[in-house]
Structure 1
């Protein structure tokens, strides 16, 4: 049984039975059979149906927003995810024709030589709970547009999201077997992957989950895309706009209770600005309102699960025991469970877990640095590599620093953002592959070469 425990009050908000192994295999077989006719439709037809499904999700937004608060704790004041959900889908629709276009090498009286991009077949999307609509659509929209069938396995913390999406897409005319939402346990998922049930698997989640996916796929040569976590740094240079840097980096660290794949988890500040930046950052975090996410005044909701909050508490406590300084007094709403006081730590080092392991919660460590070289060294002293945020008024300097950072995306004067025109990718323990952009379409298809001799 898949069971969602609401972080609002610890009650069971939703539960769904998982498919048996036989039913799961049948779902994949139906997807494989339906994919043939789906791929035979015109690209324009597939795009239109996908965008109609996206619009149907938007029409549900008033119901979705409180539903998300119940499932994973995001405050209703932020209005859900439809803005990014819609933007990403529309962008992928705009570039689909060019991204999937044939590469014609020769078309003469003697030969036709061309490379086509063809769908993998059935794509398995294993989506996370922290941005349950946007992370899922990153793969679902381009996969369907490219002619694949999609099987969606959503996180147990957000089981209603997959149902919402399936309902919306089916109502738009996407065949039910072409886009299926399923509830699977880990073993059944692994068994399906090991049986070469899918042409491609996209997983967003923990490093352990990604390792399980790779182990299940071992020897099958199934393509896998993995986004597995981060410990994303911000660097405030000596010429930075401190007000803008503090506001954006603290938002990047605390928004969604810090439960963002590309959230800011560590900050390095030019030594001469350290005290001023810290003062601004502390004032911002002290102004957050922790509380019930259904209250429109709440700006910081509970973490999605008590065990996630406990991991953050443990990292903070260990750091303080090792000499770190905490700057935020315990909020009265902090219940020792899912409702967690946001925290800023100084006097931290990379020997502390809070500066080394993924926290995925509302805590950030801040360190002074003497120059760019020290900042680069510290930013790279990490097993993850998803994004990095550089704050400077000099674009050339930012790009020179960016060239030396081991990460998937580098921002200048912004953070915690996903641009659908750029490849969303990572390195090291963050995983491999890439979503969105032209490259996203290329990863969701395979090249097929045609060498046709006419005479």
Structure 2
């Protein structure tokens, strides 16, 4: 018997009044208790706001990204303990890896994106500056800063580690403290994960708190700087979303709910094709992984009418090979549902589905369980249904049995398949197995608005594809309608859920000071040595080098054309070029101008500049003809530390002609010694 503690306001608190028993999914025996009605929600929120928030906001995005990476590596060292504890949830080792390894991997992705895609600063710049005045001295841009409140995460039972870490990683990267409340049925696994992170000493005081059991009146105490992220059933989401205080205070509420996810077998994927075999494999995996207890599991299977019998036969044959039993056994392929109550709920939903569909595989009253007592544990077999008339059906499109249950249904053509897909009224994911690009396009155009993710797979992608049911941290996870109408993950998009986007307006100098990125029109520093002679740490934003002019001759243009092989008519044929609406006649190559620009601003001696790593945002603005002159303005726009030896400098480069007209503009990237 384990006591599952809560971590509140810096202290671990044992279960108390209102504690609930937690049973093993394998044996049905009580193994733990969790919950304490005496938790002080106000104190927890105050602790996070007073300590966790300020400490996290004092760190830069890169500081927080490094913290996430260290946390992930620390958890990696202790993942076996999380595996061992997870068996009582009914999950197999393969299931644990989805949960534990998937959660750790998600943290590592956010750590990487934080270092690569966000600044080593406190303000995230969303888009380029906008010129709001005629002379360029009144500008605007959008910035994002951390919410100054608390993120409350309410998670489902099926992924006690991944479900927490996929919310926690973007939250901490944003600079916001979190209070985590997992589902009670599996909170003992989450508790160990939280203990590991807190014991590492990597988290600032107040950055993470943990509730085992109920939240009490916490939601009633939230304000406009707080956020709630929920994963679970649609019914529970509706109750939480309707909290008067959440609505009154416009508290951000993100919901990721259960949904009737579907998979479509393309009309080209007939028996004997790689796509047909892939389809059967994907459906079987999604029905049995985590005993079907995945928010992304396939609930509806859509197949061309002519392939119904073939799919029933092939899928039944594959499902029959699924060994059900004690998840600790190596040969077990599907363990138990999380609890007896969950098993009863699934069986109740099966009764509803049975009114519209025939069960063609799996008998809940007659199946074998190896190494465990079938009646004491929360075991069920995979169950496949066939709905012959999906147009007349209702329950198969609105009832989710959250277990190893799926319903097969025929479609006549792609338009019919699209209507069936959309009958689910919003899902997290729909998959289409096809090798026909036009099939993929038609189904996308007809149903993308109803799904948070569309997953296509075929013979070309199958070797690398991660599977229908695998949300990836790089891509958004969520969906419209029944799926909750929210989003999580999606790289930096997920971080933005815990930040406020603000439009700031002012002079270029003001915008430069706020965003720590030089804005054209801001003050230039020109009284120093050539910036290429100065080390990364010595450079200041706005340091600028103005080059002398260089005339571009006709000989230059022709030499460049013959040397490079770029003899495009605009550079070599005056009459043809003049007939072009963009040119007055023969003009210089754009890349010739870039080459001349480098020659004008480069300081050739060995020095702090180690490498040119590329350029961004290149625009050619005006043509340059023979006889025109060009000069360059090179300014330090932004600096990003990379390691102890060097950092990245982003230079703003503008080329102008003899009339002071901008002819080209771009950002140059160099690595400079620290």
Which of these residues, 177, 186, 190, is aligned with residue 206 of structure 2?
A: 177
| d(CA) in 2 for partners of 1:163, 1:320 | 39
Which of these residues, 441, 458, 483, is aligned with residue 430 of structure 1?
A: 483
SS in 2 for 1:273: helix
| d(CA) in 1 for partners of 2:355, 2:241 | 37
- Match in the other structure for 2:48: 31
Which of these residues, 126, 138, 141, is aligned with residue 154 of structure 2?
A: 126
Q: Which has the higher contact order (CA 8 A, sep 6+)?
A: 1
Q: Does the 8 Å CA contact 2:153/2:228 hold for their aligned counterparts?
A: yes
Q: For 1:62-118, what per-residue CA distance to the aligned partner results, in whole angstroms no more than 9, with x for missing partners?
A: 111121121x21113544323322332222222235357314516999456442211
C-alpha displacement at 1:198, in angstroms?
5.8
C-alpha displacement at 1:448, in angstroms?
2.3
| d(CA) in 1 for partners of 2:158, 2:435 | 32
C-alpha displacement at 1:178, in angstroms?
1.0
Asked whether 1:271 is paired with 2:321, we answer no
Q: Does the 8 Å CA contact 1:52/1:169 hold for their aligned counterparts?
A: no
Q: TM-score, normalised by structure 1?
A: 0.92
| d(CA) in 2 for partners of 1:201, 1:337 | 34
Asked whether 1:190 is paired with 2:226, we answer no
The 5 Å alignment of 1:216-227 reads 216=243, 217-227=246-256
Runs of 5+ consecutive residues of structure 1 not aligned to the other structure: none
Q: For 1:264-304, what per-residue CA distance to the aligned partner results, in whole angstroms no more than 9, with x for missing partners?
A: 01101112222212111001111111111122221111111
Q: Does the 8 Å CA contact 2:297/2:469 hold for their aligned counterparts?
A: yes
- Match in the other structure for 1:259: 293
Aligned residues: 451
Which has the larger Rg?
2
**117-126 vs 393-402, greater mean Cα deviation:** 393-402
| d(CA) in 2 for partners of 1:192, 1:289 | 48
- Match in the other structure for 2:109: 91
- Match in the other structure for 1:408: 452
| d(CA) in 1 for partners of 2:38, 2:399 | 36
Asked whether 1:345 is paired with 2:399, we answer no
Q: Does the 8 Å CA contact 2:65/2:111 hold for their aligned counterparts?
A: yes
| d(CA) in 1 for partners of 2:396, 2:305 | 21
C-alpha displacement at 1:328, in angstroms?
2.7
Distance 1:197 1:28, change over 3 A: farther
Which of these residues, 84, 94, 105, is aligned with residue 129 of structure 2?
A: 105
C-alpha displacement at 1:322, in angstroms?
5.1
**303-312 vs 94-103, greater mean Cα deviation:** 94-103
Runs of 5+ consecutive residues of structure 2 not aligned to the other structure: 1-18, 270-274, 458-466, 511-674
| d(CA) in 1 for partners of 2:375, 2:355 | 21
| d(CA) in 2 for partners of 1:148, 1:280 | 49
Q: For 1:171-206, what per-residue CA distance to the aligned partner results, in whole angstroms no more than 9, with x for missing partners?
A: 14102411111235254243334xx28611100011
Q: For 1:194-236, what per-residue CA distance to the aligned partner results, in whole angstroms no more than 9, with x for missing partners?
A: xx28611100011122112211212110011100111111111
- Match in the other structure for 2:368: 332
SS in 1 for 2:496: helix
- Match in the other structure for 2:599: none
| d(CA) in 2 for partners of 1:73, 1:133 | 15
Q: TM-score, normalised by structure 2?
A: 0.63
Asked whether 1:18 is paired with 2:45, we answer no
- Match in the other structure for 1:76: 93
Which of these residues, 478, 494, 501, is aligned with residue 447 of structure 1?
A: 501
SS in 1 for 2:22: strand
| d(CA) in 1 for partners of 2:403, 2:211 | 29
- Match in the other structure for 2:419: 377
Which of these residues, 124, 130, 143, is aligned with residue 116 of structure 1?
A: 143
Distance 1:102 1:128, change over 3 A: same
- Match in the other structure for 1:250: 284
**212-221 vs 87-96, greater mean Cα deviation:** 87-96
